[in-house]
Chain A
């Protein structure tokens, strides 16, 4: 094998690795963004339901905050609400990133949306039957009493994370340009 051919192969493989790395980075970035979008959509659904039923718009944050404080969190103030918001944000980012990594090689928007909704419903089951009974039974008792809003909020989260291909494409185009700039610098 000639020296020129070996060098050419080396360049191709390093470009390939950079592209692969950039697609992972794009998936991570997209996961964080779509997780945040899904989290906002989910919270919007819960806030609307809480406002309509008379609990007050910020009640879902109290409910999540009950993870740390127990039933008295339901009448808690800003501290409890902030802890609830933080926990919701972290969970949304983690679940969004996991989904984005899982659909790394499936760029179609429509199928990813459908998979996103299925993923949202899977999270619903996981939270209702595995996490909440131990971590936040107060919230579980209440979401089981109002299953409609709980279901819709997870569908909304699924739609948010289902936008991963769009967001990933955006980050990949930015990341791709960066990776081609690197060898010259």
Chain B
């Protein structure tokens, strides 16, 4: 009985410390009493979130441009409709990320076109591919466009799957959880259309 009382008293004394050890927002485990370590962990988590968001926004931008082009140059009605679907899906994903970044990371809202490229080599490669596509029409365009969309969406799905597991903020993980199935649908459609075209 006495032992139980001691446990309760010690528990009550430790409770405030345990509440304080809940962690800093944006980090999973920030030990209480180590403010400097927690602050560094918090900054790392935030900069990681920023980088992931920037990468996804860059990917969005690439697929949006390709979708816009497909609406004009594609040879089949399905490919043109797929272009419109891509534009709407990626614009929606971008809106979610911008809202999140403005709300949680203090980034300024700006037009999509002003997204600074995270991976300049990747962006340059896609700009070159887009320029090549701009010279194509009809079935030739459809093949190039769909092959590019399959490859891009495979990379995007893989990026988001990793990000969903590694990002700390549950709100951001929820956004990824909502975007991911849409990207998988887009990938499925590109593969199906490519199969039909082939």
Separation of A56 and B85 alpha carbons in the complex (Å): 9
CB of B84 closer than 8 Å to a CB of A: yes
How far does the alpha carbon of A56 sit from the alpha carbon of B178 in the complex, in Å? Answer: 21
Instruction: Find B182's partner among A72, A77, A141 (CB 8 Å cutoff).
Output: A141
B-side contacts of A138, CB under 8 Å: 185
Tell me whether A72 and B192 are in contact (CB under 8 A).
Answer: yes
Count of A-B residue pairs with CB < 8 Å: 52
Cβ of A145 within 8 Å of any chain B Cβ, yes or no, is yes
Q: Does B197 contact A (CB under 8 A)?
A: no
Contact A56 B182 (CB under 8 A): no
> Cβ of B104 < 8 Å from any Cβ of A?
no
Instruction: Name which residue of chain A comes closest to B188, CB basis.
Output: A71
Contact with B along A1-16 (1 / 0, CB 8 A): 0000000000000000
Residue numbers in A under 8 Å from B81 (CB-CB): 56, 74-77
Chain A 56-84, CB within 8 Å of chain B: the 1/0 string? 10000000000000111011110000000
What distance in Å separates the Cβ of B180 from its nearest Cβ neighbour in chain A? 9
Nearest B residue to A50, CB-CB:
B88
User: Could you say which of B77, B185, B188, B192 has the most chain A C-beta atoms within 10 Å of its C-beta?
Assistant: B185
A residues 148-169 in Cβ contact with B at 8 Å: none
| A54-B84, A54-B88 as given contacts; A75 in contact with B193, CB under 8 Å | yes
Cα(A55)–Cα(B192), bound, Å: 20
Cβ of A185 under 8 Å from chain B: no
Query: Do A75 and B178 touch (CB < 8 A)?
Result: no
Q: Which residue of B lies closest to A142 (CB)?
A: B182
Task: Decide if B88 touches A53 in the complex (CB within 8 Å).
Answer: yes
Interface residues of B in 159-198 (CB under 8 A from A): 178-179, 181-182, 185, 188-189, 192-193
A91 within 8 A of B: no
Return the 10 tightest CB-CB contacts between A and B, nearest first: A141-B181, A54-B88, A75-B81, A55-B88, A71-B188, A145-B178, A75-B82, A71-B185, A75-B78, A72-B192
Apart from the given pairs A71-B189, A75-B79, 16 other A-B contacts in the complex at a CB distance below 8 Å: A54-B91, A55-B88, A56-B84, A56-B88, A70-B188, A71-B188, A71-B192, A72-B78, A72-B188, A74-B85, A74-B185, A75-B85, A76-B78, A141-B181, A145-B92, A146-B92
Interface residues of A, Cβ cutoff 8 Å to B: 53-56, 70-72, 74-77, 138, 141-142, 144-146
Show the binding face of B for A, using Cβ within 8 Å. Answer: 77-79, 81-82, 84-85, 87-88, 91-92, 178-179, 181-182, 185, 188-189, 192-193
Provide a sorted-by-A list of 22 A–B residue pairs whose CB atoms are within 8 angstroms. A53-B92, A55-B84, A56-B84, A71-B188, A72-B188, A72-B193, A74-B189, A75-B78, A75-B79, A75-B81, A75-B85, A75-B189, A77-B77, A77-B81, A138-B185, A141-B182, A142-B185, A145-B178, A145-B179, A145-B181, A145-B182, A146-B92
